Amino acid sequence: MGLLTIGAFAKASRLSPKALRLYDELGLLPPARVDPVTGYRLYAPEQLDQARLVAWLRRLGMSLARIQHVCTLEAGPAAQEVRAFWAQVEADTAARRDLATFLINHLSWKDPAMSPTTKPLGIRYAALSDTGLVRESNQDTAYAGSRLLAVADGYGSRGAPASAAAVDALKYLETDSVPAGDLLNALEDAVEQAKEAVHGVARTGSSPEEAGTTLTAMLWTGSQLALVHIGDSRVHLLRDGELFQITHDHTMVQSMVDEGRLTPEEAASHPQRSLLIRALGQGADATPDLRLHDARQGDRYLLCSDGLSTVVPTEEIHRVLCEIREPEQAIRELVALANGSGGPDNASGVVADVMELPQ
């Protein structure tokens, strides 16, 4: 078969002539020959596979620059790149879905026709932070109050004051009256204040990069818990006997798991498993995850630093949260289990139970 005209090639590849001209200009899909007299682009039949690949990748929503990179790869690495791209798309979609859910709830609270549950609910809670058996100092901060639950895991030479400053910056939410419909703005403002507080700590040190922290906090609204999450501390929810992790680690290793480049088992022992891609600190991406959770009577929440979650097996966390009724005893047992496994890091957590208030 001879060379194909741009019209015939467009029809065979399901790309428009206009797209083919653009891809030629970008060097993505140059024609096999350009007629020197007419200037017509002519394509070889063997170019159809690459053209179809470009068409498929465009339908996926991949950028032209990334498509150009994929087209330079062998089949195996190209497949890996597409897998990584789609994992990122799914992660972005999940983040937008969470935000959409938050906004629906946010606006529903403002709609008088859609009122929250009338059952009066409250929380009982306990917090504990322990240095562990290896670290010389405790850079974690754990806090539990009548409305605010928070865990922050500091890093760097001034990690301890950084984590404390981040949590302190949120404490005004306990006393300020925040209408349920304004939670989104209030939480974003609180994170911004926490970021500024951490930067203030950094400026007092010898290097601006020596202070940073994760921040995971929940604000009790009376029938819902609003979540702010940055970093790799975690929130688990025990509901009807089942344990759910309701936060997503902002780490390099977790992003590799999301992209299919690592299995969860490989991630657990990866040497860079604590490398953060989001945190409160100089130069760090401080974009928070914001979510709103409808509370049910009997729910139990655990907020904990990675010094607890990466040391105590999930099965043991589940067992303790199911078997030990009092929040203070439960968090003490979880920290004891972390230390019993060598206590390699600071271990901190908050246990909070949702309960019906007496009438």
pLDDT at position 324 is 97
Of 149, 168, 110, give the one whose Cα is nearest residue 299.
149
Give the pairing of strands 121-130 and 347-356: antiparallel
Ranges 79-93, 95-109, 183-197, 253-267: which has the least confidence: 95-109
Q: How far apart are CA 42 and CA 108, in angstroms?
A: 58
Q: How far apart are CA 67 and CA 181, in angstroms?
A: 43
Q: Is the pTM of this model over 0.85?
A: no
| pLDDT over 90 (residue 140) | yes
Ranges 173-182, 211-220, 268-277: which has the least confidence: 173-182
pLDDT > 70: percent of the chain: 89
pLDDT at position 181 is 65
| pLDDT over 50 (residue 116) | no
Q: For 287-345, how does the pLDDT look when each residue is reduced to its tens digit (9 = 90+)?
A: 899 888 888 999 999 999 999 999 999 999 999 999 999 999 999 999 999 999 999 99
Q: For 189-236, how does the pLDDT look when each residue is reduced to its tens digit (9 = 90+)?
A: 899 999 999 999 988 866 555 789 999 999 988 778 889 999 999 999
pLDDT at position 119 is 65
Q: How far is CA 6 from CA 15, 16, 63, 159, 312, in A?
A: 10, 9, 23, 62, 62
pLDDT at position 228 is 93
Confidence bin at 1 (pLDDT 50/70/90): low
pLDDT at position 95 is 65
Q: How far apart are CA 174 and CA 7, in angstroms?
A: 67
Mean model confidence pLDDT for the chain: 87
Within 10 Å of residue 283's Cβ, how many Cβ atoms? 10
Confidence bin at 99 (pLDDT 50/70/90): low
Strand partners, 124: 353
Confidence bin at 261 (pLDDT 50/70/90): confident
pLDDT at position 264 is 78
Q: Which of 86-95, 241-250, 291-300 has the highest mean pLDDT?
A: 241-250
Q: Indicate the DSSP class of residue 340.
A: H
Confidence bin at 239 (pLDDT 50/70/90): very high
